[in-house]
Amino acid sequence: MHPDGTPTAAWITAIEALTWCAFRKAMTHDEWILSCYPRRELWHRMNRRALLRALEARAAPQPYCPLFGHGDRDWPRLLRDVRRRARRMEGRLVTYADLVAMLRAELADVEHRKTALRRAAGELLEKIRRTGRPSLRGRRDLPNAEPDPAAVLGLIPTDVLIDPVMTLTENSRVFPDISLCDAVWRPRAARGPTWSDVHVCAKELLEIQPPSKVAATIAAEKRLLRWPIAFMEAVPNSRPGKDVLRRRAKEAGQVFTGRGFDRAYAEAVSITGAALYSRSGRPKKSPRKITAPD
């Protein structure tokens, strides 16, 4: 996979194809799970829905301790631990109301991402039904919908995917969704064919869903960022100012836009720890760093 998230393999998994269609960045299943838990170090392995209810109860005008089936848990102690971790991570005082807002925003963002993924799966199947592309291949399951260990990868017939009840999931499975059927066709759909370990043809997918210009621009800037970093690390005792570095970049054939160069220069300075230079080439006084106590 390319650093900018563009798939490079001939066949990619279903989750890589769906995340590419939804976010223009192919993710593995582990990367997708991690993206749905951006603050996993803060919440740990607690149920976020139950934790939100407990935080809302603690942040209420008249706090109370909810049980809702988890009476064996010491919620006051758990909430204090969460707040202590949040203060350490944020470097500031964090109230229970702040934790409620953070958790609500995270759950809303996760729900938005899952909705976008389901929408991408529906749109991808619609393209397959209309044009027959991109091609899918997988392992045919047993009649009871259990994975067949002896099955080999093979193309999934397009006429099977024409059925509107067939769905593609992020777990690399193709199967009939009986919730989309009426009572008459539900028994037939339950006996329908299913596939596991589904892969999508990456070349055909990129022809249908090409990389966006924004993603290409960001990827180009990331590649260009390597040059100022290497240049600053090569001359640690006499790092040039911004004007000199821009001229050296032009001489070396590195083409930057105005804002792109400013972003690359600032990031290179941050990564290499270089001093900030003024237009005259004199180093500026480094700002005093303020570190928050644990």
What would the pLDDT profile of 75-124 be if each residue is shown by its tens digit?
Answer: 888 889 999 999 998 888 999 999 999 999 999 988 988 898 988 998 99
Q: Between 154 and 45, name the one with better pLDDT.
A: 154
Q: Which of 3-7, 46-50, 94-98, 147-151 has the highest mean pLDDT?
A: 94-98
The pLDDT assigned to 197 comes to: 92
The pLDDT assigned to 243 comes to: 78
The pLDDT assigned to 217 comes to: 52
Q: Are 194 and 141 in contact (CB under 8 A)?
A: yes
Give the pair of three-digit tokens for residue 13.
Answer: 């998994």
pLDDT at 73 over 90: no
What does the mean pLDDT of the chain come to? 78
pLDDT at 239 over 70: no
The pLDDT assigned to 284 comes to: 47
pLDDT at 277 over 50: no
Nearest to 96 by CA among 54, 66, 71, 59: 59
Task: Find tokens 């590649």 and name the residue.
Answer: 223
pLDDT digits (tens, 9 = 90+) for 126-185: 999 888 889 999 999 888 778 888 888 899 988 888 877 788 888 888 888 766 666 555
The arithmetic mean of pLDDT across residues 57-82, rounded, is 76
Nearest to 127 by CA among 119, 138, 115: 119
Nearest to 247 by CA among 236, 233, 261: 261
The arithmetic mean of pLDDT across residues 225-247, rounded, is 71
Give the pair of three-digit tokens for residue 87.
Answer: 């203060």
Q: How confident is the model at residue 290 (pLDDT cuts 50, 70, 90)?
A: very low
Share of the chain above pLDDT 70, in %: 74
Pairwise CA distance, residues 259 & 257, whole Å: 6
The secondary structure element, H or E, covering residue 201 is: strand 195-201
Q: How confident is the model at residue 286 (pLDDT cuts 50, 70, 90)?
A: very low
The arithmetic mean of pLDDT across residues 45-59, rounded, is 88
Q: Are 11 and 201 in contact (CB under 8 A)?
A: yes
Give the pair of three-digit tokens for residue 274.
Answer: 């270089």
Q: How confident is the model at residue 68 (pLDDT cuts 50, 70, 90)?
A: low
Q: Which 8-state DSSP code applies to residue 72?
A: T
pLDDT at 5 over 50: yes
The pLDDT assigned to 100 comes to: 92
The pLDDT assigned to 219 comes to: 56
Distances (CA, A) of 270 to 96, 144, 187, 275, 276: 34, 57, 62, 9, 9
The pLDDT assigned to 181 comes to: 62
Share of the chain above pLDDT 90, in %: 15
What is the pTM assigned to this prediction?
0.64
The pLDDT assigned to 87 comes to: 92
Pairwise CA distance, residues 217 & 183, whole Å: 51
Helix (H/G/I), strand (E/B), else coil: 119:
helix
Q: Between 221 and 96, name the one with better pLDDT.
A: 96
Distances (CA, A) of 281 to 37, 41, 204, 243: 44, 42, 51, 9
The secondary structure element, H or E, covering residue 218 is: helix 213-234
Distance of CA 39 to the CA centre of its chain: 13
